[in-house]
Amino acid sequence: MFESSKLAILTDYYEFSMANGFFNAGIGNRTACFDVFFRRVPDNGGFAICVGLEQVIDYLENMRFDEYDIQLLRSKGVFSEEFLNYLRAFKFECDVWAVPEGTPVFPKEPIMTVRGPLCQTIIIETMLLCCLNHQSLIATKANRIVRAAQGRDVMEFGARRAHNTAAAIYGARASYIAGACGSSNTLTDERYHIPAIGTMAHSWVQSFPNEYTAFCEYARQYPNNCTLLVDTFNTLKSGVPNAIRCFDDVLKPLGCRPKGIRIDSGDITYLSKKARKMLDDAGYPDCQIVASNSLDEYIIRDLLIEGAAVDSFGVGERLITASSDPVFGGVYKMCALENENGELEPKVKFSDNVGKITIPCFKRVWRLFDNKSGKAIADVITMHDEKIDESQPYELFDPDHVWKRKTVTDFIARSLCVPIYEKGKLVYKTPEINEIRDYCDKQIETIWDEVQRFENPHNYYVDLSQKLWDERNRILADISGYKRSEK
């Protein structure tokens, strides 16, 4: 991992090319507004979880260009000295709003908005997306796995399969926020106080004359935290019987109870059921059974449907890489730009691909909660200066199918994005990781079960206010009319 103070130049090269061009054209200080949003929930799920804000803040707080950065850009032979001097004296001056980490979020709504000098808003794009895309992806996957476990502990075991060191560390962080109970990655305990969890590998068993001896040595050294890996040779004929014998011979005389056994291969449903009976018959009903081996939410769900006697799960590669759908797809798009008159002019990206048409204007997102159930009703994107009056009925409508309408009453409207920076000054206090984790858990409780389904989830509506819908349609009509006149 790089030092945060060395990440200013971690941006796509064309961002510097554009910033240099804006600067030299005399428009680099015009106020621009950009939204971060995503278009599709990974794994076709009902919602995603936004994580990564703390790393965005760390990047922005330490953003500076040193002489090595300046020399690299100068060597390209295309950047003006005036622009390089601008970077040398760079001072972040933007406003930033974002949803708190751990918030369930939905496609097309802004999860972060940046407003500030055009040059600055351009340069920071890559790192903002890098931080938010990766951790939101892993948090979303981790929470699916946690929900599949139905209250059983899920341990993140994926460091060795992560795409690099940063992915291992930040992936563990995102997993913990989303509900995992700990990680095998010891560094995350030091850095984020995420409980480091682990027992033994097969090499421990292979390093002694026999399985029983290996188990006994482990039990003697860790009598209060003894979990034995029982599938090195034969789970039911060797592993579990030797574990029970070890518990009797080593732990009992010490007055200790075994913590568990782990099964890492084979038919986990069958093996866990048989192992459970063997442990119970031997007087160890409190000995837990841990399952691992390329698990994901679907395998865990099926194991529990089949009645597997598993108390907790260690999940590695399919969590830390989100292997079933490994791209979050967050984007950073301009929604407004200051014109020559000093006014913010709405901007839109038009496309023949309707899904890629952006929502213009400087705006905000509201979440409406039902007062009786506490559940989220819908999200509404409005102009930034609009307020939703909770004392009055509010009409929701599908922005794409406007005949679908619903009037809601007795609700609470909460603005999702909170101020993070004001004119470059940090005004947000980053919560401790356990606060973020608790917040995430409570927010997911506000999402209806139907939206939480893994397959064919109920569509949660993200609507536009009437004022924003009218403005978007006016702009799109103008663009369409312009295109027709050219033909």
Structure tokens at 188: 């995350």
Reference 326, options 436, 181, 162, 166; nearest CA is 162
Q: Around 304, how many Cα atoms within 13 Å sit in the side-chain half-sphere?
A: 17
Question: 130 in helix, strand or coil?
Answer: helix
For the domain made up of 4-123+329-486, the CATH class stated in words is alpha beta
Structure tokens at 276: 């459970």
Q: Under CATH, domain 199-293 is a member of which superfamily? A: Aldolase class I (3.20.20.70)
Report the distance separating Cα 227 and Cα 243, nearest Å. 9
Query: Contact at 8 Å (CB) between 383 and 361?
Result: yes
Where are the CATH 3.20.140.10 domain residues in the chain? Answer: 4-123+329-486
Where are the CATH 3.20.20.70 domain residues in the chain? Answer: 199-293
Element holding 133 (H helix, E strand)? helix 125-148
Query: Contact at 8 Å (CB) between 341 and 470?
Result: no
The string of DSSP codes covering 50-88 is E--HHHHHHHHHT----HHHHHHHHHTT-S-HHHHHHHH
Q: What is the pLDDT of residues 12-30, one digit of tens each?
A: 999 999 999 999 999 999 9
Instruction: Decide: residue 393, CB within 10 A, 0-12 exposed, 13-18 middle, 19+ buried.
Output: exposed
Instruction: Give 355's pLDDT tier (boundaries 50, 70, 90).
Output: confident
Instruction: Give 3's pLDDT tier (boundaries 50, 70, 90).
Output: low
Q: What is the pLDDT of residues 168-203, one digit of tens each?
A: 999 999 999 999 999 999 999 999 999 999 989 999
Beta strands in 409-483 (DSSP E): 411-415, 418-422, 425-426, 462-464
- pTM, full prediction: 0.95
Q: What is the pLDDT of residues 255-272, one digit of tens each?
A: 999 999 999 999 999 999
